[in-house]
Amino acid sequence: MGDFFSSLLPPGLIDVLSALLPPVVVGGTFCFFIIKILRNEMAPRRSDGSLVGKGTDSGDESDRDAAESGDAATANEASNAGDGERADSDGR
């Protein structure tokens, strides 16, 4: 196999490629894992830390009911926070 490559490539290029191959493999592996970690950290999460897209169908009924009641409570608190009060920009 070495004779085949040596017949196609100039003699100095084989030495350069063999010297560059290990750093390229290490650098590529490093970049792969850094990108994988960054994508995992940038994934949207709920307030309890679980991923948004995972585990929606695997929970039982009590987990879903608790999650829905918690979501409804925070939605109600947010909508009631401004009742009776005007925003600063409304009167101007």
pTM: 0.43
Residue 84 φ/ψ region, left for φ over 0, alpha for ψ in the -120 to 50 degree band, beta for the rest: left
The lowest-confidence range among 14-23, 33-42, 80-89 is 80-89
Give the C-alpha separation, 87 to 13, whole Å.
71
Mean pLDDT of 40-61: 73
What 3-state class would DSSP assign to 78? Answer: helix
Higher pLDDT, 62 or 6: 6
Element (H, E) at 85: none
The lowest-confidence range among 10-14, 63-67, 87-91 is 63-67
